[in-house]
Amino acid sequence: MAAIDEHAGTVRIVPLTHEHDDYLHDESRSRGEAESISFPTTEDEVRSILRSLHAAATPITVQGARTGLAAGAVPHGGHVLNLSRMNRVLGMRRDDAGAFFVRVQPGVILSELRKNLHARSFGTEGWDDVSLQALHALADAPEQIFPTDPTEASACLGGMAACNASGARSYTHGAMRQHVSALRLVLASGDVLALHRGGERAHGRHLSLTTEGGQTLEIELPTYVMPACKNASGYFVEDGMDAIDLVIGSDGTLGVISELELALVPAPAVTWDVSCFFTAEHDALDATEAMRSELGCAAAIEYFDGAALDILRRQRTESTAFSSLAEPPADVACCVYVELQCASEDEALAELTRLGALVERAGGSAEHTWVARTELDREALTFFRHAVPESVNMLIDERRRTDPAITKLGSDMAVPNERLHEVMDLYRTTIAKAGLEAAAWGHIGNNHLHVNILPRSAAEYAAGKELFARWAHAVTAMGGAVSAEHGVGKLKRDFLEIMYGRQALAEMARVKLAFDPCGQLGRGNLFGEELLDALRQAEASALDDNAEKGGA
């Protein structure tokens, strides 16, 4: 590798040694390999690194906080470009309508941004006058928040944009893409694309973009139609689309996001979290459907099945770290959690009254509920919600000790609203038939559950994987998405083919090659390297043929 140990601008590309072992994996628990690594701190350094790796067409995997669950940041050879040190908030502005926007580097951690916003305090070194004026205005304005809320608050904002992350509040606030107003994308060549929402739009399915270096990219967008549900599967495409949406959710395959501008929203005046317990799952599903149609202030509707509650009950008694968990009532089978964001306490009370009535109508009880109105109670419920995936990860890690072939198997599929009962029935019948242990939780408001198979052996792990493939087919037939928030990464690319077909994958790969002609970035994400290399060869052959014809 030519670039190893050479300076790329002011930042070193260094050989990847045992000291960098952490950078070979992410939260998906899968592991890759790489030869070199760098930790740029500025966009100029990123450009310099990319330029130095471009000549040899070195594969590059972009990393942030490595909290992803689809192995998008797990390297497949070549270079690891880790952006965790690009962690500065660069500035702020306020538009004519009074909305605030904050400009960040991709390595800024979500929890840090939240802290800054809550304290209305930022490190302002290097900020321009416009930013300082906006910060001054922020001090007197109603509290502002960035609403995207993945479970993992240690995720970085660049990674969240790369996989179009969402979280519980996506029920009302949508996914990451709705809150990204501009971004800068460094291409594999080192050139830069600056994209602003509303600034660069496709004509039908053709996109023409000009880089800051003056290069024009002519992009034929894929022809597939995206599902009408929560979706983070493959490139976002639609007629007349905004170019920025192509980059958001592209899993690090098109370029390196070096800067994001995020739109903030005012914090709700009143936030109450309510957990509603049910003795039967179909009652919970009925209640969910009623919540969707009857509640006006629900920001999140989440679900925990009986197995998830049982795991929490065990953790309470077996682990001191979880001993303060609120104890679910003994005789309940599942829980629907609702976050109410209201303009006033009166509005929240009216909404709570509606919620109590619909819970009773669905077969639950207004007595079998927890209402968190204080900060302390809300923290307790957040702990409760986040303890579920954490406990499952601990369980899987424990089983891996006896059988290293076992790893986490969590689904991320979503279906349209009218398919909720059908998809739950699919999960329940197929899991029971396969004799597998499983726990389900997640964003039921968006019909988007994380069904986790808990394999006890390598054979069960294989059976679980086979089950996921069957679900991918069935969910696709229901008009759903194989990945709704984690992104496709490397782990779900087979499902992407099931969802859109081989032709669509080839169309996506051509989009990638328009941005990244040597196929360097995010190799193995979205589509297999064989497909990408075959397309590159075909394009090279076509060019040769044309040259020969031209020569003749």
Place of tokens 């009535």: 357
Selection from 475, 467, 472 nearest residue 419 by Cα: 475
- Name the maximum alpha-carbon separation found in the chain: 85
Restricting to residues 256-295, which ones interact with other proteins according to CB under 8 A?
274, 276
Selection from 320, 329, 350, 238 nearest residue 276 by Cα: 329
Q: Are 430 and 444 in contact (CB under 8 A)?
A: no
In the complex, what is the shortest distance from the CB of residue 346 to other proteins, in angstroms, rounded to a whole number? Answer: 10
In the complex, what is the shortest distance from the CB of residue 384 to other proteins, in angstroms, rounded to a whole number? Answer: 10
How many residues line the site for other proteins (CB under 8 A)? 26
In 479-528, which residue ranges form alpha helices assigned H by DSSP?
A: 493-500, 502-515
In the complex, what is the shortest distance from the CB of residue 270 to other proteins, in angstroms, rounded to a whole number? Answer: 13
Restricting to residues 188-217, which ones interact with other proteins according to CB under 8 A?
none
CA angle 279, 443, 465 (to 5 degrees): 95
- Choice between 128 and 379, CB closer to other proteins: 379
- Choice between 290 and 326, CB closer to other proteins: 326
In the complex, what is the shortest distance from the CB of residue 379 to other proteins, in angstroms, rounded to a whole number? Answer: 11
In the complex, what is the shortest distance from the CB of residue 353 to other proteins, in angstroms, rounded to a whole number? Answer: 6
Enter the DSSP assignment of 254.
Answer: S
* Rounded Cα gap, residues 481 and 488, in angstroms: 11
- Choice between 371 and 521, CB closer to other proteins: 371
Instruction: Provide the angle, in degrees to the nearest 10, between the axes of the packed helices 281-294 and 345-361.
Output: 140
- Choice between 85 and 465, CB closer to other proteins: 85
In the complex, what is the shortest distance from the CB of residue 151 to other proteins, in angstroms, rounded to a whole number? Answer: 21
* Rounded Cα gap, residues 48 and 71, in angstroms: 26
Stretch that binds other proteins, among 147-155, 173-181, 367-375, 537-545 (CB under 8 A): 367-375
Place of tokens 């701190």: 41
35, 44, 377, 390: which one binds other proteins (CB under 8 A): 377
Indicate whether 326 belongs to the interface with other proteins (CB under 8 A).
Answer: yes
194, 380, 463, 513: which one binds other proteins (CB under 8 A): 380
Indicate whether 85 belongs to the interface with other proteins (CB under 8 A).
Answer: no
Indicate whether 375 belongs to the interface with other proteins (CB under 8 A).
Answer: yes
Site string for other proteins, 341-360 (x = CB under 8 A): --------x--xx-xx--x-
Question: For residue 314, which amino acid is it?
Answer: R
- Residue 298's H or E segment, with its range, is strand 298-304
Selection from 511, 34, 43 nearest residue 253 by Cα: 511
Give the footprint of other proteins on this chain (CB under 8 A).
19, 274, 276, 324, 326, 349, 352-353, 355-356, 359, 365-377, 380-381
